[in-house]
Amino acid sequence: MPLLLNEDDVRAVLPMADLIETMRGALAAYSSGRTQQPLRTVLELGQQRAFFGIMPASLDESRAVGTKLVTVFPSNRDRGLPSHLATIVLLDPETGALDALMDGRYITEARTAAVSAVSVDVLALPDAGTLALIGSGVQARSHLEAIACVRRLTDVRIWSPDESHRAAFAREAQHVHPNVRAVGSAREAVDGADLIVTATSATSPVLVSDWVRDSAHVCAVGACRPTHRELDSALIARSRLFVDSTIGALAEAGDIVLAIGERAIAADHIAGEIGSVVSGTVQGRQQPRQVTVFKSLGMAVEDVAAAHLVCTRARARGVGTMLAV
């Protein structure tokens, strides 16, 4: 019988440390050709140009098959709703019948941070301990939790444009890390930072190369459309650049697409996919003073792998509601 899981059900069976390991495997499987994943289909809706994406995938080893339906409605914030919402559908690989239907909002939030944590683990310096967070939303919170699983953080700085938001973040994050502090500018946040996360809704750069120290690792997780960017072209050109999907990045990642359009880089500036670094077929960091950048768009294989883990654990633990169909 199909299984129905709400967000609380999903959270109950999906600890971050386990999700990081699941994402490590899914990324390696994608980059070695052991998955199927077309480019997502994207519709723009209404005058606010809201985003509706359809993201199907299958993974050979786990025999997981499914799709995510994801929406981004910026006006939801005014309604007290999350701007990013999602539903994930899993199918029986033998029959195509419905296997599970689950809320995908938390999976989207958590798997994005878990993938960034994989990039930190394989690209950042082993002793990297100073983290700058640009943005104070759900992705900033999840990234703090995920990165703390792979590095010992000694100093965490948070900046976002709204002073009350960044102050609230610093207060609420104390249970995750006691050394979180709000600062007055993005430049102050990244000054001397070993690790930088840009998790914003920006359409123009919030991080410029001159602020970034040699040896830093940057996770850029906002700007998921080809006309949007969080990093300036100089930083992209200066970095050893990695992506989750080369095909996806060249089609949708404005940080890269716009830098190519400005002739700051060519497409071959992408050093490789993070999954290839995980599997050892592409070298990651080449020397300690090198700046590395991981540009994340998010992939359907990540969502389906995470949902498969959730479904397997939920069935084993009796979590969720069985649907009579």
pLDDT tens per residue, the chain (325 residues)?
899 999 999 999 999 999 999 999 999 999 999 999 998 898 888 777 788 999 999 999 889 999 999 998 888 888 888 888 999 999 999 999 999 999 999 999 999 999 999 999 999 999 999 999 999 999 999 999 999 999 999 999 999 999 999 999 999 998 878 889 999 999 999 999 999 999 998 999 999 999 999 999 999 999 888 999 999 999 999 999 999 999 999 999 999 999 999 999 999 999 999 999 999 999 999 999 999 999 999 999 999 999 999 999 999 999 999 987 6
Structural contact between residues 190 and 212, judged by C-beta atoms closer than 8 angstroms: yes
Let me know whether 14 and 92 are in one domain: yes
Is residue 141 included in any domain, yes or no? yes
Structural contact between residues 260 and 290, judged by C-beta atoms closer than 8 angstroms: no
Predicted TM-score of the model (pTM): 0.94
Let me know whether 223 and 305 are in one domain: no
Is residue 59 included in any domain, yes or no? yes
Let me know whether 128 and 248 are in one domain: yes
Distance, in Å, from the CA atom of 121 to the CA atom of 21, rounded to the nearest integer, reads 11
Distance, in Å, from the CA atom of 82 to the CA atom of 79, rounded to the nearest integer, reads 9
Let me know whether 285 and 192 are in one domain: yes
Is residue 38 included in any domain, yes or no? yes
pLDDT (0 to 100) of residue 48 = 74
Residue-wise over 55-87: b if at least 16 C-beta within 10 A, else e? Answer: bbbbbeebebbbbbebbbbeebeeeeebbbbbe
Is residue 115 included in any domain, yes or no? no
Is residue 44 included in any domain, yes or no? yes
Q: What is the CATH number of the domain that holds 247?
A: 3.40.50.720
Running DSSP on this structure, what letter comes out for residue 273?
E
Residues whose CB falls within 8 Å of the CB of residue 288, separated by 6 or more in sequence, listed in order: 125, 215
pLDDT (0 to 100) of residue 133 = 98
Let me know whether 310 and 271 are in one domain: no
Is residue 18 included in any domain, yes or no? yes
Alpha helices by DSSP H, listed for the chain, are 7-12, 16-31, 105-123, 138-147, 163-172, 186-190, 233-238, 246-252, 254-261, 274-279, 300-317
Let me know whether 169 and 100 are in one domain: no
Distance, in Å, from the CA atom of 195 to the CA atom of 102, rounded to the nearest integer, reads 33
Which helix (DSSP H) or strand (DSSP E) does residue 132 occupy? strand 130-134
User: Residue type for 30, please?
Assistant: Y
Chain centre to alpha carbon of residue 125: 20
Let me know whether 131 and 278 are in one domain: yes
Let me know whether 68 and 32 are in one domain: yes
Let me know whether 213 and 227 are in one domain: yes
Distance, in Å, from the CA atom of 149 to the CA atom of 52, rounded to the nearest integer, reads 32
Number of C-beta neighbours around residue 12 at 10 A: 16
Quote the number of domains for the chain. Answer: 2
Is residue 264 included in any domain, yes or no? yes
Let me know whether 102 and 129 are in one domain: no
Distance, in Å, from the CA atom of 216 to the CA atom of 244, rounded to the nearest integer, reads 19
**Domain boundaries, position 283:** 123-298
DSSP line for 6-45: -HHHHHHT--HHHHHHHHHHHHHHHHTT-EE-PPPEEEEE
Q: What is the CATH number of the domain that holds 16?
A: 3.30.1780.10
Let me know whether 82 and 136 are in one domain: no
User: Residue 240, class by beta-carbon neighbours within 10 Å (0-12 exposed, 13-18 middle, 19+ buried)?
Assistant: buried
- Helix, strand, coil fractions of the chain, as percent rounded to 5: 40, 25, 35
Structural contact between residues 217 and 238, judged by C-beta atoms closer than 8 angstroms: no
pLDDT (0 to 100) of residue 19 = 98
Let me know whether 169 and 291 are in one domain: yes
In the block, which residue shows the tokens 């025999």?
63
Q: Both tokens of residue 278?
A: 């995980």
Number of C-beta neighbours around residue 97 at 10 A: 10
pLDDT (0 to 100) of residue 75 = 85
